[in-house]
Structure 1
């Protein structure tokens, strides 16, 4: 077998232009995907975090970048292109990585977490349908970043739920902060478990059961004084029947309850190496049953709609599309087509109003092979930041 030739990203960082599509995949030190070819490095923070993770690329692919600049050695700079809203979502991944590393290093950074949560809330509010699309329509599984992506997705669903429930701003802020930090003690463990094919080992199970309290203690050491936030982190795996952990409580705070609901729901719709993502409708049904139709489940389902942005659906026209906007009712979203009327993938995309009988939604699209990667720019166009 030919040995893989690796080139550390650090050795070519001066050739990387911020905002320009990469000609190669970027891997971490454990050979897990961090960025796929065609994605962009959108900030210095992201580049720094990639280098901190021991990022590398295949040497033969890096040569394409070197060839592009063989007659010049440009200093790293931003490409003259306007930043998109999708770039901002990628930035949040790496901003979260940076702040959680501060928590793990024992640095005082409660203000940094609060500031990140505020920026995230503003981004979600700017276009909530895009936020839901980025949460639900997950492309290449980046298992190395599973904990970061899951935290951002949980926070997004949590904010949508809190709005539906009419929570005050302060309570929503605490929920966002708890969502971003609930698993800080198990960042690498979550990445390994997302990629592994085997069931959790006994050691991993012990770490999982201990992580709510471990994360709480790390946050206290980082200067967090919001007791509602801390309590939600400590209790977010407790269950009303006493089968949760770490303490087997039967009564938990409202914030912890919301965090558990959004955490579990988001995990179910996220792919892992050992199983595909559960479809939205099945995950919503399970949530409704587990919650016995309570206000958390009912509120979340009402806020998302039956077919939320990012969901793949079959249309009466014969086309397959992806939901891009929630509609006036739970069953009438706006859908961007991915195939023609014969079900064949096409390049040209049309936005269908599914309230029109010709384009009514028949149900979720179940045969997803070949349609897993849907770039947001294709179905939304270019939305400037």
Structure 2
């Protein structure tokens, strides 16, 4: 991400002495050892459009141009900032993860015995820095960074570069699949929580949740082969690639879609297929599923083509996830409404694909809220032995006050049975996501209550 020191490389060599290690000299000159300088240059091409900035952007004199978390909405906006202010800078201490990634890339060049001049002039794209974390991601030992995955998905869907798209998608789907296998309840919890709590990255969060739900249903209920599950997950992640930016804008829009927006919505499946072909996707099942993921054809899955079966599963998950997401124009719907939208088909009959999804994620899914017979409000943390008896953590006591300590309840016990689902908007308490995600890992045999 960093493009190097704002000062000429040659001017800093004498300050460090001939006896110092070669790598140390390089890192010092590139601004990584920021005791000598706080601002390092940022390549304009590495600032991701439509994704919150992981660090603040400054000009050379130290004037703040854009704070950390700011979303640069278009390339034109970025060009405008750059043209007016010249070179962009970041504080070298602003993001440890980006520094570690950058140092890793530099070490790699040092090991390859690249000339000092070439190393000092190196500029690394965000995608290259993402790849520098590939070893860590593939080990399976790291905790999921859901905000980072959300950002990766947003970048993949907006920055549609044929040279990197397939690699980005493969990496993202592999990470989601790994987290889903290691902790399916935690994965559902995180994605449903994000879906209900923020709108700016709606399209990315929605795609991840639909993909995760479909994967669970395919694996645990429908018993589809692993290769088909992977294809399904990727189709779900890319189903709306033809309208990602529009989807995000519509989530923040308080008015009805304009005629032009409505036309784009109606055409987005066909546009997505065209775009996927341009990006190198040739799998017929994948393309068929994306093309038909809004086709409304009630009835059993048997008798449909394989691509149509995939499309139907995606469609029902799409409806479920959309109900749970708030919009600027309307609040999120209740979990019961989301379940009904998925479970019943266009003829008000039980939908086979929808039923598989509900069986996989539960009528009360991790991340949703419920009222107990004790009059406590709790958040679901783990799916139970059946779809109606999950494990929950109380967040509001019977007096209507937030709980200091999280109390875990087994809703299969009569005294703690679920009375009704509660919409997230009606729970006026801020939860600690990390604390609750830790509870999703409790072994099923544990009974801490």
TM-score, L = length of structure 2: 0.64
Corresponding position of 2:5 = none
1:264 paired with 2:319, answer yes
1:299 paired with 2:342, answer no
CA distance in 2, matches of 1:311, 1:117: 24
Instruction: Give, in angstroms, the shift of residue 159 of structure 1.
Output: 0.9
Corresponding position of 2:57 = 10
Indicate how the Cα distance of structure 1 residues 153 and 364 shifts in structure 2: closer, same or farther if over 3 A, else same.
same
CA distance in 1, matches of 2:163, 2:323: 33
Question: Would you identify which runs of 4 or more consecutive aligned residues in structure 1 move more than 4 Å?
Answer: 51-55, 82-87
Report the secondary structure of 1:363's partner residue.
Answer: strand
8 Å contact kept, 1:102–1:108: no
CA distance in 1, matches of 2:224, 2:424: 38
2:339 to 281, 284, 300: 284
1:117 paired with 2:173, answer yes
Indicate how the Cα distance of structure 1 residues 367 and 166 shifts in structure 2: closer, same or farther if over 3 A, else same.
closer
CA distance in 2, matches of 1:221, 1:311: 38
Indicate how the Cα distance of structure 1 residues 85 and 359 shifts in structure 2: closer, same or farther if over 3 A, else same.
farther
Indicate how the Cα distance of structure 1 residues 333 and 287 shifts in structure 2: closer, same or farther if over 3 A, else same.
same
CA distance in 1, matches of 2:144, 2:374: 33
Corresponding position of 1:247 = none
8 Å contact kept, 1:108–1:221: no
Indicate how the Cα distance of structure 1 residues 97 and 366 shifts in structure 2: closer, same or farther if over 3 A, else same.
closer
Corresponding position of 1:150 = 206
8 Å contact kept, 1:29–1:54: no
Indicate how the Cα distance of structure 1 residues 320 and 110 shifts in structure 2: closer, same or farther if over 3 A, else same.
same
Q: How big is the alpha-carbon RMSD for the aligned residues of Structure 1 and Structure 2?
A: 3.5
1:198 paired with 2:263, answer no
Indicate how the Cα distance of structure 1 residues 156 and 54 shifts in structure 2: closer, same or farther if over 3 A, else same.
farther
Corresponding position of 2:157 = 100
Q: Counterparts in 2 of 1:52-201, with a 5 A limit?
A: 74=93, 76-78=95-97, 87-103=144-160, 105-107=161-163, 109-138=165-194, 141-163=197-219, 164-201=221-258
Corresponding position of 2:281 = 224
Report the secondary structure of 1:200's partner residue.
Answer: coil
Instruction: Give, in angstroms, the shift of residue 331 of structure 1.
Output: 2.2
Deviations for 1:120-147, whole angstroms, at most 9, x for unmatched residues?
A: 1111111000111122223774333111
Instruction: Give, in angstroms, the shift of residue 355 of structure 1.
Output: 2.1
1:215 to 266, 269, 272: 272
Greater Cα shift, 193-202 or 316-325: 316-325
Report the secondary structure of 1:97's partner residue.
Answer: helix
CA distance in 1, matches of 2:392, 2:79: 38
CA distance in 2, matches of 1:54, 1:323: 46
CA distance in 2, matches of 1:122, 1:54: 40
Indicate how the Cα distance of structure 1 residues 200 and 94 shifts in structure 2: closer, same or farther if over 3 A, else same.
same
Report the secondary structure of 1:198's partner residue.
Answer: coil
Report the secondary structure of 1:381's partner residue.
Answer: helix
Instruction: Give, in angstroms, the shift of residue 75 of structure 1.
Output: 6.9
Instruction: Give, in angstroms, the shift of residue 54 of structure 1.
Output: 10
Instruction: Give, in angstroms, the shift of residue 30 of structure 1.
Output: 5.9
Report the secondary structure of 1:346's partner residue.
Answer: strand
CA distance in 1, matches of 2:257, 2:400: 39
Instruction: Give, in angstroms, the shift of residue 293 of structure 1.
Output: 1.0
CA distance in 1, matches of 2:80, 2:235: 28
CA distance in 1, matches of 2:227, 2:294: 22
Report the secondary structure of 1:297's partner residue.
Answer: helix
CA distance in 2, matches of 1:265, 1:257: 13
8 Å contact kept, 2:188–2:212: yes
